[in-house]
Amino acid sequence: MSGFLAVLVVVLIFVVIFQIAKASEYVSILKGEKKARQQNNRINGFLLIAFLVLGLIGVYYCNELLKGKILGEPASEQGESIDNMIMWTLVITGVVFVITQILLFWFAFKYQEREGQKAFYFPHNNKLEVIWTVIPAIALTILVAIGLRHWFRITSEAPKDAMIVEITGKQFNWLIRYPGKDGKLGSKYYKNINDATNPVGQDWDDNLNRDDFMATEMHMVVGKPVKLIIGSRDVVHDVGLPHFRMKMDAVPGIPTTMWVTPKFTTAQMKEKTGNPDFVYEISCDQMCGSGHYSMRAIIVVETQEEFDAWTAKQKSQYELAHAAEAPAAPEQEKPAADSTQKAVAANIQ
């Protein structure tokens, strides 16, 4: 109800402004064009100042209302640095935004057309142009350099003890593959893809594939780096990890990688957020078709013991794919009658 009233108030304000503008047109006919123009400028000047004040109040209010409430604390070590980078970017650009907007609206009010006041044309000044070109260029170069540093950090070679997880985008779900005990993923070939038995196209002649297993959700160990090998089976997707503040395109035919270190288990995040239904998720951050909205998977961050117990229950994709080819177990022969039974049978005869 409050939202409807707010919209109604905004509509009424626009109606009032429109009626004032129409009335000013009639006044211009009676008073003359110059006086009417000056009156319109005066009204517009006051409206611009009002818009400036209300706009800045609105920006401050929205910031205070939503600060830290959309995604909460970053849940990865890399996410902390990325949040800091975004904060400093917003601080630098925000200060420039506020200063320029105040000057813009104030100048529109202060230097409006008046009797006895004539505009001063200032067409060229080398010093001023150098200042407003060089300073923004330096600031933006610094921000870009900071961004590149973080980009190279998350896409560089992962630590040697990092887990390896392959995630493949497919309209409209994620295919997640883990290496087995050998810690190495087997090779794959797109012509081997079979949705029923071989969804990522593993090469069964490669012995490394014998212990790789697939999962419908991604499991990570808290505090342990995880290297993600990302690809796509059809169109461009995007692996979005909002709670970890990371994302990476999934491109057909071009594997991409990044690595992340989760800080909190899923259970810890449930306590931190006060939400018993909290889950980490993988979203698709690239429009990929009509089912894009449903392309989502769950991430479970847990202790090493919990992860080991989960992996022990998984069957390799090779075993599942070749289950139908396994020979049927022979029927068991009925045990022969023991000597006592034979003797009784002989006596009866």
Locate the domains of the chain by residue range. Answer: 17-24+31-113, 163-321
Q: What is the amino acid identity at position 272?
A: K
Lowest-pLDDT range of 8-22, 27-41, 93-107, 272-286: 27-41
Mean pLDDT of 309-321: 91
Angstrom distance (rounded) from CA 69 to CA 214: 34
- Tell me: pLDDT of 46 over 70: yes
Residues forming a β-bridge with 158? none
- Tell me: pLDDT of 330 over 60: no
> How confident is residue 30, by pLDDT bands cut at 50, 70 and 90?
low
- In this prediction, residue 344 carries a pLDDT of 40
Q: What is the amino acid identity at position 311?
A: T
- In this prediction, residue 322 carries a pLDDT of 84
The contacts of residue 320 (CB under 8 Å, 6+ apart) are 197
Tokens of 187: 């090779």
Mean of pLDDT over the chain: 85
Angstrom distance (rounded) from CA 91 to CA 109: 27
Mean pLDDT of 124-141: 89
CATH code matching the domain that covers 163-321, chosen among 3.90.79.10, 3.40.190.290, 3.40.50.2300, 2.60.40.420: 2.60.40.420
- Tell me: pLDDT of 60 over 50: yes
- Tell me: pLDDT of 5 over 60: yes
